[in-house]
Amino acid sequence: DAGITQSPRHKVTETGTPVTLRCHQTENHRYMYWYRQDPGHGLRLIHYSYGVKDTDKGEVSDGYSVSRSKTEDFLLTLESATSSQTSVYFCAISEQGKGLGYFGPGTRLTVT
Amino acid sequence: DQQVKQNSPSLSVQEGRISILNCDYTNSMFDYFLWYKKYPAEGPTFLISISSIKDKNEDGRFTVFLNKSAKHLSLHIVPSQPGDSAVYFCAANGFGNEKLTFGTGTRLTIIP
């Protein structure tokens, strides 16, 4: 299995609180991605990174920010969580950037 | 606007028969297509891909067909096995674009 982990795996938080999800890889892959999975929507890209300190927005980036200060870590922050951000969040990594990557196990986030 | 569509939310197939999962896309700039398989409580795993310069790619029991004129691709699984029961996502991206666009997924159930 590819070396990609996510923490925490489960989190329940209240509306308005900040939340940070962490993705850690040991593969030294250049590209890292954050997706959310929701029923009826499949997987939607939130943000991605193409190198240290290089990030760009995906299709559902509103309400989210990211940071990548090291190759191995990609952080997703919800500045002020809302109920619409209740979802399962997946991190993915890719060496080539053509989608031939690996996904992490996911983080289930519930905002009450 | 859903650029990658999987119009069948679910599909049931007898063990040993052929499973055919379909995917349509609208963006003519897409030139690389992938299928991912996802089990419950796990991240998606890469299954098979195809470039737009081909119309077929085969890997063991899995074959992906691409019809560019119809903007349609399909995944064939022959013979279907109980372990194939999962959600299958179709995904696509374009030349020079590191971002994958996913379909909404099809839940495949193999009946023993």
The secondary structure of B51-101, three-state, reads ECCCCEEEECCEEEEEECCCCEEEEEECCCCHHHCEEEEEEEEECCCCCCE
Cα distance between residue A52 and residue A73, in whole Å: 9
Query: pLDDT above 90 covers what percent of chain B?
Result: 88
CA dihedral B47, B50, B55, B57 (to 10 degrees): -40
Torsion region of B69: left, alpha or beta (phi above 0 gives left; psi -120 to 50 gives alpha) = alpha
Residues B14-58 pLDDT 10s: 999 999 999 999 999 999 999 999 999 999 999 999 999 999 999
The number of C-beta contacts closer than 8 angstroms across A and B is: 59
Cβ–Cβ gap A103/B43 under 8 Å: yes
* pLDDT over threshold 90, residue B109: yes
Contacts of A49 in chain B (CB under 8 A): none
Cβ–Cβ gap A103/B101 under 8 Å: no
Residue type (1 letter), A94: S
Interface of B with A (CB under 8 A): 4, 6, 32, 34, 36, 41-46, 49, 89, 91, 93, 98-105
Contacts of A92 in chain B (CB under 8 A): 43
Beta strands A64-70 and A73-78 are antiparallel
Residues A7-34 pLDDT 10s: 999 999 999 999 999 999 999 999 999 9
Residues A43-77 pLDDT 10s: 999 999 999 999 999 999 999 999 999 999 999 99
pLDDT band at A1 (very low <50, low <70, confident <90, very high): low
Contacts of B8 in chain A (CB under 8 A): none
SS3 A85: helix
Cβ–Cβ gap A94/B98 under 8 Å: yes
Place of tokens 């650029």: B3
Closest residue on chain A to B37 (Cα) = A103
Query: pLDDT above 70 covers what percent of chain B?
Result: 97
Structural contact between residues A19 and A109, judged by C-beta atoms closer than 8 angstroms: yes
pLDDT band at A83 (very low <50, low <70, confident <90, very high): very high
- In whole angstroms, how far apart are CA B28 and each of A44, A87, B70? 20, 30, 10
